[in-house]
Amino acid sequence: MSKSTELDPGSMALRRTTRAVVAALLGVGALVLLLLTLLSGFGLLYGLRGLHWLAVGPRIRDALPLLQLAGYDGQPLARVAAAWLAAGLIFGLALIQVSSRRLVLTTSVVGVLLLLFASDAAYALADNLRLSHVLWVRAPAVGPWFEGLLFAVGSTLPRWIVRLQRSRSDALIDSEPARCLADPA
């Protein structure tokens, strides 16, 4: 029995609209997830700030921008790396179905922009300055750039790990065909 694949224009339009709505919803969901994981990145770094054994490497200025008044905004490299790689990992795990290219694009462009904005907003808040003025005149320190980079790298880790596992299992099958045939399970 054959099935007609032709759809009437009304159904086609409905399908396109549905697709667009679903895509928009997925986009909004991804953005919300991005915001939440960025927040958890700051939270993890804030939680790690007391770990002395992780105080390794140079201080990354502006890593915790809200602590600038107290002089604790600069955090050691190892702490920043641990927190932001973990945050990126969470984001990558949640969006493991998304291609690496899209993921890196989202994290490195939207994520870094959000981190730069957060840095300027924190500076304006702490110094009682107008945000629009700060956004125009202030260049954030290395912190948000570095955090964005680590976040992007962290987000690609889950797919790399999955690929690595697949290639290993493929290699195993290739190297032991007789055993695999004998025990198909």
**Residues 11-40, interacting with other proteins (CB under 8 A):** 36-37, 39-40
Determine, following the binding rule CB under 8 A, whether residue 44 of this chain makes contact with other proteins. yes
- Per CB under 8 A, contacts with other proteins among 68-87 are 68-73, 86-87
Dist. CA 144–CA 19, nearest whole Å: 35
Token pair for residue 28?
Answer: 């909004």
List strand residue ranges (DSSP E) for the chain, in order: 59-60, 75-76
Q: Binding to other proteins by residue 151, rule CB under 8 A? A: no
Q: Which residue has the tokens 């912190």?
A: 143
**Binding to other proteins, residues 102-131 (CB under 8 A):** 125-128
Pair 159, 92: CB distance under 8 Å: yes
Residue 120 contacts residue 140 (beta carbons within 8 Å): yes
Name the minimum Å distance from CB 93 to other proteins: 5
Position among 55, 77, 78, 94 found at the interface with other proteins (CB under 8 A): 94
Count of residues touching other proteins (by CB under 8 A): 30
139 lies in the binding site for other proteins (CB under 8 A): no
Residue with token string 């099935």: 3
